[in-house]
Amino acid sequence: MDSTLKLARQLIERPSVTPDDHGCQTLMAERLDRGGFEIRHLPFGQVSNLWATHGNGAPVLVFAGHSDVVPPGPESRWSVPPFAGAVLDEWLYGRGAIDMKGALAAMVEAAVAYVATRPTHAGTLALLVTSDEEGAAVDGTSRVLSHLREQGISVMGAVIGEPSSRTRAGDAIRIGRRGSLSGQIRIEGMPGHVAYVPHESNAVHRLMTFLTQCLDLGTGAVHTQFPPLSFHVTSIGADDISRNVVPAEARADFNFRYPPPVTSQELENQIQQLLENIQGPHELHWRRSADPYLSFPGRLRTCTSAVLQEKLGCKPELRVDGGTSDGRFFAALGSEVVELGLPSERLHACDERVAVSDLHVLHDLYRKIAERYLNEDVR
């Protein structure tokens, strides 16, 4: 069994549901230590973080990812146990196979292989791994980058191992992400018999009016490289007393995905204006998940595109769709960001799986990117 597949299986076997790393980073640290990397564990709160480096000075190239995974759901819906790391017909199964233990294994083995052949490479090759990406994302990558910045360490380029490809590893890369803003609203009305409550006093009707106006906002902001602003209701409910009783209140959860240059504050201000037209008491609570980012085209994108062209024979598609990622934390500090990982087709699904061949391809891509970035003057 090759080293990348072996490490990926070992990582999947550790049920590292957010924020419990469950020994994944220790396993990776041991492999990197044997490969000559300097290891630092940076725990913050309940979150485990790993910072491993080889070399000195600028430029600093970081391979970044997360060891935590989302819960697997009912095991009965899986063909194999979700944390078994089983290989069937050249497919590696398990929670985290795609997001993103397969990519982590490829990063670790690619980094070790690279420094074995280039022990005196220019600059610094680093790996940053957190167990706080699928959760609150407070004590993970963001906290580590702030800590490194205090020590005078500035990351020039970051390769994020999030699943970014479409049908095969490397056919697409992400260079940005939309922002995410979630809200939870509760609107009160007049409870009573359906025959006697005025239409405008019905809490559910008031909520429906508000949500419809939010949908209209979703047709607004446009960015040439991004999908437009979108709005989705994720849950809706009201007191269920009787079929002929109007409830006293109605509730809903919703989410905006928004492109730059829109900000969360602008959206909150617009929603507040809508609420001024809603009759009756109401409460609104916000959760700001992530700001949008669009990475600038620089040396890292040039190197990555050249490697993909060389190894795969085609230029990668540049994507800005999908959910949020830790790439935003690097971009906010001025680092160039490229997200390159496995195909995302079965991301977070039961029977999450990745083709073993894609693990091998991704390993080779990561190694070649490090080689070009740290050893060639690409303009």
285 and 298 housed in the same domain = no
Q: What is the CATH number of the domain that holds 86?
A: 3.40.630.10
End of a domain among 245, 274, 290?
290
In this predicted structure, what is the pLDDT of residue 222?
65
Residue with tokens 């600093």: 60
* Residues 160 and 45 grouped into a single domain: yes
Residue 305 sits at φ, ψ, to 5 deg, of -60, -40
User: Do 156 and 196 belong to one domain?
Assistant: no
Which token pair is 210? 């508000």
Tokens of 232: 């989705």
Task: Give the pLDDT confidence score for residue 379 in this predicted structure.
Answer: 36
148 and 208, same structural domain? no
Residue 85, both tokens: 């790391």
What is the span of the domain harbouring residue 364? 3-177+292-375
| Amino acid present at 329 | F
- Tell me: do 146 and 31 sit in the same domain: yes
Same domain, 264 and 299: no
pLDDT, tens digit, 9 for 90 and up, residues 154-194: 999 999 999 999 999 999 999 999 999 999 999 999 988 88
Same domain, 272 and 194: yes
What pLDDT score was predicted for residue 221? 56
Q: What is the pLDDT along the chain (379 residues), one digit of tens a residue?
A: 599 999 999 999 999 999 999 999 999 999 999 999 999 999 999 999 999 999 999 999 999 999 999 999 999 999 999 999 999 999 999 999 999 999 999 999 999 999 999 999 999 999 999 999 999 899 999 999 999 999 999 999 999 999 999 999 999 999 999 999 999 999 999 988 888 889 889 999 999 999 999 998 865 556 788 988 889 999 999 987 788 899 999 999 999 999 988 889 999 999 999 998 888 899 999 998 899 999 999 999 999 999 999 999 999 999 998 889 999 999 999 999 999 999 998 999 999 999 999 999 999 999 999 999 998 544 3
* CATH code of 256's domain: 3.30.70.360
Task: Decide if 339 is catalytic.
Answer: no
Active site residue 133: yes
Instruction: Give CA–CA dist 181/291, Å, rounded.
Output: 8
Q: Which of 13, 21, 68, 99 is catalytic?
A: 68
Closest CA to 177 of 141, 222, 227, 221: 227
| Among candidate residues 244, 272, 290, the one where a domain is terminated | 290
pLDDT of amino acid 269: 93
Residue 299 and residue 280 share a domain: no
- Same structural domain for residues 341 and 284? no
89 and 185 housed in the same domain? no
Q: Check whether residue 146 and residue 26 sit in a common domain.
A: yes
User: Active site residue: 109, 132, 133, 339, which one?
Assistant: 133
Domain count, the chain: 2
The last residue of one of the domains, among 221, 255, 290, is 290
Answer yes or no: do 100 and 125 share one domain: yes
